Amino acid sequence: MLWNKTLETGVAKIDEQHKELFVQAEKLLDRSQQQRIPETLDFLKNYVVRHFTDEEALQRRVQYPKSAFHHNLHVDFVGKFKKLYEEYKNNGEKLSVILAINSLVVNWLKDHIMVHDKEFCQFYLKQSQKS
């Protein structure tokens, strides 16, 4: 699944980071990018953590009441990603692991954005207007 307008949250920084995550996930399935899979996975591993850190900083800034719950969703995702990442590192470039990572990233992100990030961003934008 590619990025599309329905995934926009209205917070530019978050939307740009989400777009980049989708671009990188698509690279895992792009045959022309196959030689770059290790690099793409390393990028995703680091970028996801950076994105979650940035998002949680915005939540703290506006005292988002569901920030602890949101943080736990992030921790759960990172744990699942790391498990698949380690499986990839230990077992080599198995297509099944690459597909599982892509599915995790795309499906989890899509669901997370549509429910939890949009809810947070609506709160964030309302709080920002008050300032």
pTM attached to this predicted model: 0.88
If you average pLDDT over residues 16-41, what whole number do you get?
84
Phi, psi of 121 (to 5 degrees): -65, -35
Kindly report, residue by residue over 51-98, the tens digit of the pLDDT: 999 999 999 999 999 999 999 999 999 999 999 899 988 887 778 888
* Cα–Cα–Cα angle for 25, 98, 87, rounded to 5 degrees: 125
Question: Was domain 7-130 assigned CATH 1.20.120.50?
Answer: yes
Q: How far apart are CA 34 and CA 60, in angstroms?
A: 39
Q: Flag whether pLDDT at 26 surpasses 90.
A: no
Mean of pLDDT over the chain: 90
Question: Largest Cα–Cα distance in the chain?
Answer: 52
What is the residue whose two structure tokens read 């990025």? 3
Q: Flag whether pLDDT at 119 surpasses 90.
A: yes
What pLDDT score was predicted for residue 130? 80
Between these two residues, 3 and 67, which has the higher pLDDT value?
Answer: 67
Domain extents in the chain: 7-130
Q: Which of 49-58, 99-108, 110-119 has the lowest mean pLDDT?
A: 99-108
Q: How far apart are CA 116 and CA 96, in angstroms?
A: 28
What pLDDT score was predicted for residue 31? 67
